[in-house]
Chain A
């Protein structure tokens, strides 16, 4: 158990809908990362927050948004869902998240999103 929790574990929805994925980082970790894992694209970095502020942005679609709240939990919002958004979405956390230094990222178990 990494200490990172994600809810829900599974989510099935229809195209065009909007969903919210939730992540609680390990106690004491200030940085939260979101990743998407799909068969064709592999594991792709979406976005990173540090202590409530966006720190780095990856291949995140405009239909997707995220935020980190004062209690450090984070939510990833996916809207206007398409079939291709079906994937495993992982959240990870680390103590700092500063570039150039070793930041061990602890991964949650993931949320499996199925868009029908």
Chain B
């Protein structure tokens, strides 16, 4: 069955890099997604990567995809207190539009 795994917590100091990891299930997923959820808010798409890419960079965000190991990571450079949120990895699976991981709660210490 579908299963997207993420570690639940990550704590970093302001200015450091954060790396959030995810393993996914469906090797045929064409796109993989990272969503961000701030306290009391809905989810916001941060970035996504097409499955034929190994890496995608978007300003402070870098996504790395290892298809062989079904591993996806999100690196946030120069992490700021405003980056404190829950980060979800997601993939389409079968007819399900998106299957989400449990989310990684990122805490940024000033």
Contact = CB atoms under 8 A, between A and B. Distances in A.
A99 interface: yes
A4 B43 CA distance: 11
Interface stretch (B14-22, B52-60, B100-108): B100-108
B44 interface: yes
Contacts of A42: 100-103
Interface stretch (A14-22, A61-69, A76-84, A107-115): A107-115
B100 A2 contact: no
Given A42-B102, A42-B103, A43-B103, A103 B43 contact: no
A44 B97 CA distance: 11
Interface in B20-56: 30-31, 35, 41-45, 48, 50
Contacts of B101: 42
A67 B35 CA distance: 26
A97 B97 contact: yes
B43 A102 contact: no
Contacts, number: 54
B85 to A, nearest CB: 13
Contacts of B35: 107
B90 to A, nearest CB: 8
Interface in B69-110: 88, 92, 95-103
A107 B48 CA distance: 16
Given A43-B88, A102-B48, A107 B42 contact: yes
B97 A33 contact: yes
B35, B44, B100, B101 interface centre (most CB from chain A within 10 Å): B100
B44 A107 contact: yes
A102 B43 CA distance: 17
B96 A45 contact: yes
Contacts of B88: 43
Nearest to B48: A102
A105 B42 contact: no
A75 B81 CA distance: 36
Interface of A: 2, 4, 33, 42-45, 48, 56-58, 90, 92, 97, 99-110
